């Protein structure tokens, strides 16, 4: 099994976020990669304006905080150009 490139992971993150916002944990399970990999790639995508990361203080199920990642208009434009 070969190592996936950072670009492939970012592309998969954006693809999954097209339908609805997700948490780091949800993306981790969908893309089948580690938490730190997801977090660092999302932070990089945020710096370039492709996603928005928002801290949610109270999770509806367990009351703990989590981070919600949402695709931006610029992120959606990425798919229109392909």
Q: 6-80 has which CATH code?
A: 1.10.10.10
What is the model's pTM?
Answer: 0.88
Q: Measure the CA dihedral 30/36/39/40, to 10°.
A: -130
Taking the chain, what is the end-to-end CA distance rounded to the nearest angstrom? Answer: 27
CB 79 within 8 A of CB 67: no
User: For the segment 24-75, what is each residue's pLDDT rounded down to a tens digit?
Assistant: 999 999 999 999 999 999 999 999 999 999 999 987 778 889 999 999 999 9
The pLDDT-based confidence of 1 (bands split at 50, 70, 90) is low
Residue listed under structure tokens 């339908």: 19
């Amino acid at each position: 099994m070969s190592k996936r490139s950072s670009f492939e992971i970012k592309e998969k993150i954006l693809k999954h976020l097209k339908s609805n916002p997700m948490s780091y944990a949800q993306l981790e399970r969908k893309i089948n990669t580690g938490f730190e990999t997801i977090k660092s790639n999302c932070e990089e995508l945020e710096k370039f304006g492709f996603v928005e990361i928002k801290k949610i203080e109270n999770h509806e199920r367990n009351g703990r905080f989590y981070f919600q990642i949402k695709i931006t208009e610029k992120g959606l434009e990425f798919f229109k150009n392909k």
